[in-house]
């Protein structure tokens, strides 16, 4: 298994693969990103053990099953690649051209995109039948289900291999139709956008918005807590993709989100978003 992109989600997916007993290689162009990923995986491993969600006495630590490299040439041996780079269309298109050229012709290219249609991503490769969408939720180690999307050309064999892979990870599969944002983010992102607008100039506290959703609607977390968990930069990038495709103003990132991202307030990953966080 090879995971391309050592951000929060890339590190989490690599960790899921390692927990399942498989070896994986995490690839990024920046050594500093790989360093942060290794630290994040070590922290999450401690949290998983403390929460007793899995056995405490593994002979091999999951972190030891994860190799890291800045050498894209490692993809020449890949048979199943999961792409996890930021949700920017130009960046992903350039990356897929590179991945497609490096990988063997029968390698599966799975994308963890949160908004770009799988059909479009498939056109960036010479193997549209080997492209599939695996939209993991954050944090992937704690979430039991994955939103899975097939493009028009995705083959049955690609689907079957992806299903076997997710089964090995212990994930439940929920198939969603292809299209901008699929199901989850087409519904969730406008809600986050509207919730963020309510916080402008103290109109409504973030904690009030979230408490109403938890106490009155029964959600496990409110929209702004969820946004902090996803990463506000990822939220803005996802909204940008949805706005580009749909042209609907509900998808244009509101000023509050844009300003927070510009100021480095990215949510949990930066220690501050709509809330403040202390490193565990």
What is the rounded average pLDDT of the residues 140-150? 96
3 and 14 Cβ atoms separated by less than 8 Å: yes
Token duo for residue 233: 């930069």
Class of domain 2-175: alpha beta
69 beta partners: 27
Measured CA distances, 137 to 147, 173, 184 (Å): 8, 12, 10
In this predicted structure, the answer to whether residue 236 has a pLDDT above a threshold of 90 is yes
In this predicted structure, the answer to whether residue 83 has a pLDDT above a threshold of 90 is yes
pLDDT for 58 equals: 55
Report pTM: 0.93
If one counts every other C-beta atom within 10 angstroms of the C-beta of residue 42, the result is 13
pLDDT for 201 equals: 76
pLDDT for 208 equals: 97
Q: Which of 127, 110, 122, 130 is nearest to 1 (CA)?
A: 110
pLDDT for 48 equals: 83
Where in the sequence of the chain do the CATH 3.40.50.720 domains occur? 2-175
pLDDT for 61 equals: 81
What is the rounded average pLDDT of the residues 111-126? 97
pLDDT for 170 equals: 96
pLDDT for 59 equals: 52
Residue 52's pLDDT band, with cuts at 50, 70 and 90, is low
Class of domain 186-270: mainly alpha
In this predicted structure, the answer to whether residue 57 has a pLDDT above a threshold of 70 is no
Q: Are strands 80-83 and 108-111 parallel, antiparallel or unpaired?
A: parallel
Residue 56's pLDDT band, with cuts at 50, 70 and 90, is very low
In this predicted structure, the answer to whether residue 165 has a pLDDT above a threshold of 60 is yes
Where in the sequence of the chain do the CATH 1.10.1040.10 domains occur? 186-270
- Tokens 């070896």 identify what position? 23
> pLDDT tens digits, residue range 181-226?
999 999 999 999 999 999 997 889 999 999 999 999 999 999 999 9
pLDDT for 132 equals: 98
At residue 190, what are phi and psi to the nearest 5 degrees?
-60, -35
């Amino acid at each position: 298994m090879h995971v391309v992109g050592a951000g929060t989600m890339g590190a989490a997916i690599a960790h899921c693969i390692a927990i399942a007993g498989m070896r994986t290689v995490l690839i990024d162009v920046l050594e500093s990103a790989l360093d942060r990923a290794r630290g994040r995986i070590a922290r999450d491993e401690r949290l998983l053990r403390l929460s007793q969600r899995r056995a405490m006495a593994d002979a091999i630590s999951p972190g030891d099953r994860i190799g890291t490299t800045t050498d894209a040439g490692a993809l020449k041996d890949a048979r199943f690649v999961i792409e996890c780079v930021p949700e920017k269309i130009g960046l992903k298109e350039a990356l897929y051209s590179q991945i497609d050229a490096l990988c063997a012709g029968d390698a599966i290219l799975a994308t963890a995109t949160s908004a770009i249609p799988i059909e479009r991503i498939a056109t960036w490769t010479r193997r549209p039948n080997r492209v599939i969408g695996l939209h993991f939720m954050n944090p992937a180690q704690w979430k039991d289900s994955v939103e899975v999307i097939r493009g028009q050309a995705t083959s049955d064999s690609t689907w079957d291999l992806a299903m076997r892979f997710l089964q090995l990870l212990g994930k439940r599969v929920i198939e969603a139709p292809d299209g901008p944002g699929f199901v989850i983010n087409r519904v969730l992102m406008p809600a986050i956008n509207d919730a963020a607008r309510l916080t402008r100039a103290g109109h409504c506290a973030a904690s009030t918005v979230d408490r109403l959703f938890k106490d009155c609607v029964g959600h496990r977390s409110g929209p702004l807590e969820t946004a902090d968990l996803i990463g506000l930069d990822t939220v803005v990038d996802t909204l940008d993709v949805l706005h580009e495709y749909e042209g609907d103003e509900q998808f244009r990132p509101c000023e509050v989100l844009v300003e927070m991202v510009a100021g480095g307030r990215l949510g949990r990953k930066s220690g501050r978003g709509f809330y403040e966080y202390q490193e565990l």
